[in-house]
Amino acid sequence: MINENKAKLRYSSVPPLDHQAEQIKKALAKKFNNPNLELEIVHDPKVGGGFIVSYGNFEYDWSDEGRTRQLKELIELTKKRQNTSAENLVSIIRDRVNNFDLKAEGKEVGRTIWVGDGIANVVGIDHAFYGEIVRFEDGTKGMVQDIRDDHIGVILFGGDEGIRQGSR
């Protein structure tokens, strides 16, 4: 069961300083309108650099992997939007990398409760909308096609071999 007053900050190598933890706690309390919010700080070697803050079904990923994923997504988007030669594309991507700005965007994180036949049922994504693209922890993408009170149905754009019950 999720404690509605407790957020969790996971880090792998360097814990946040007291004033940094307090700033994160205040920002979360303000964003979620919860002045009683507590911040639990946990050492987690799986984070792999940086930190990840979780609160309810929201997650803010400032891990090395999360920041790399943001940059990769920006480059992929640039490649799709630009109809240009390979030489110009390298220049455009170099400019995007040089001017890359990390965003402190949160995302809703759900859990798979059932998967099979190219469909996954997911709980915990309370603000999904029809047609929204979701990404599973193994990298598989899918599209929200069914929104119910207790879960969403996602049609997978690839195999479901890497997705199991409990997958994020």
For 30-74, the pLDDT digits (tens) are 888 999 999 999 999 888 888 889 898 888 888 888 878 777 777
- Least confident window among 26-35, 90-99, 151-160: 90-99
Prediction pTM value: 0.57
Q: Could you read off the pLDDT of 120-154 as tens digits, one per residue?
A: 999 988 888 888 888 888 889 888 988 888 999 99
In angstroms, rounded to a whole number, what is the distance separating the alpha carbons of residues 106 and 117? 30
In angstroms, rounded to a whole number, what is the distance separating the alpha carbons of residues 74 and 42? 30
pLDDT, mean of residues 105-121: 86
Q: Which residue ranges make up each domain of the chain?
A: 6-63, 65-98, 110-156
In angstroms, rounded to a whole number, what is the distance separating the alpha carbons of residues 155 and 168? 15
Q: Which CATH class is domain 110-156?
A: mainly beta
Q: Compute the chain's Rg from CA coordinates.
A: 18
Compute the half-sphere exposure of residue 78: CA atoms within 13 Å on the CB side of its CA: 19
Hey, what amino acid is at 20? Q
Average confidence score pLDDT of the chain: 82
- Angle formed at CA 132 by CA 135 and CA 56, multiple of 5 degrees: 65
Element of type H or E holding 11: strand 6-11
